[in-house]
Amino acid sequence: MTLQACKGTTIARIAITRAVSRALEHCELTHLARRPIDLALARRQHAAYEQALRDAGCEVRQLAEQPDHPDSVFVEDTVIVLDEVAVITRPGAASRRGETPSMAAALNGLRELVHIEAPGTLDGGDVLRLDRTLYVGASARSNAAGITQLARSVAPFGYRVESVPLRDCLHLKSAVTRISVDRVLLNPAWVEARHFPGFDVVPVDPSEPHAANAVLVGEAVIYAVSCPRTAEALRKTGIDVRSVDMSETEKAEGGVTCCSVIFSA
């Protein structure tokens, strides 16, 4: 599948997702209280999210459900895919480490694979790529050894890694994501804007702390309906915001970026 992307180039994109685990209600929670999750609704919402990815031009490849891994729908945490290499992570939550082998299998043949090894830990949700820099949240999930291993793995391909301090949120991409070629959407209460030089910083609406998480596909931004004020502000600046309802996976402390891994075919 191809689409017209920024600056007239044509890019084929693959989005890897995973079927929602029947065990989702037993997910890891760090900053949220546990609330009942409607599994059937979560699956319908996830299907709509996958359709939004298709509508934005991605070929969606859904991995099989992992009934024993509650958080496995959050595929973003298991890998960082660059054009030249894929880094299979070692998630910071021990309960999530069984999610990575099937992601490695899915990428076999598409990318050279390298692996984060113990004692390193790294969650893909902590890794924000802005051009040739990988910003990595120094969170409770991604430790110094994991960040160092990532830096060593990607340096041969011309990427630089910058560790970024966070507060009060799970992952770096809870606090900041890219929304266009030259803009990032950011919650200043969770991460400081000064870490992202060269990008215009759009702050979230102060009443919507979770609003900084957005999926950029070409020029489309897939975005949660739970943050309507920030969405409206983005639309007013000309951003093509595509709304999706992710209420059930949000209860599991996952945002829109968490549910896919998107890369050039």
Catalytic residue positions, numbered: 171, 258
- Residues from 148 through 187 that contact ligand GLY (CB under 6 A): none
Compute how many other C-beta atoms are within 10 angstroms of the C-beta atom of residue 78.
Answer: 30
SS3 36: coil
Residues 6+ positions from 155 with CB-CB distance below 8 Å: 161
What CA–CA distance (Å, rounded) separates 242 from 53?
A: 10
Stretch that binds ligand GLY, among 26-34, 114-122, 144-152, 234-242 (CB under 6 A): 26-34
What are the structure tokens assigned to 183, written together?
């803009």
Which one, 32 or 41, has the nearer CB to ligand GLY? 32
Q: Which of 14, 15, 16, 27 binds ligand GLY (CB under 6 A)?
A: 27
Query: CA 177, CA 174: separation in Å to the nearest integer?
Result: 8
| Minimum distance of ligand GLY from residue 264's CB (angstroms) | 26
CA–CA separation, 229 and 264 (whole Å):
32
Of the two residues 12 and 39, which places its CB atom closer to ligand GLY in the complex?
Answer: 39
Binders of ligand GLY among residues 53 to 112 (CB under 6 A) are: 71, 74, 93
Closest residue to bound ligand GLY by CB: 28
CB 69 → ligand GLY: shortest distance, Å?
A: 11
The binding track of 244-263 with respect to ligand GLY, each residue x by CB under 6 A or -, is: --------xxx---------
CA distance 77 to 123: 5
For 99, 136, 215, 240, the CA distances from 69, given in Å and listed in that order, are: 7, 24, 24, 34
List the structure tokens of 248: 């059930």
Min separation Cβ 91 and ligand GLY, Å: 7
Alpha-carbon distance of 103 to 262, in angstroms, equals: 13
Q: Which stretch binds ligand GLY (CB under 6 A): 2-10, 27-35, 172-180, 186-194?
A: 27-35
Interface positions with ligand GLY (CB under 6 A)? 27-28, 30, 71, 74, 93, 252-254
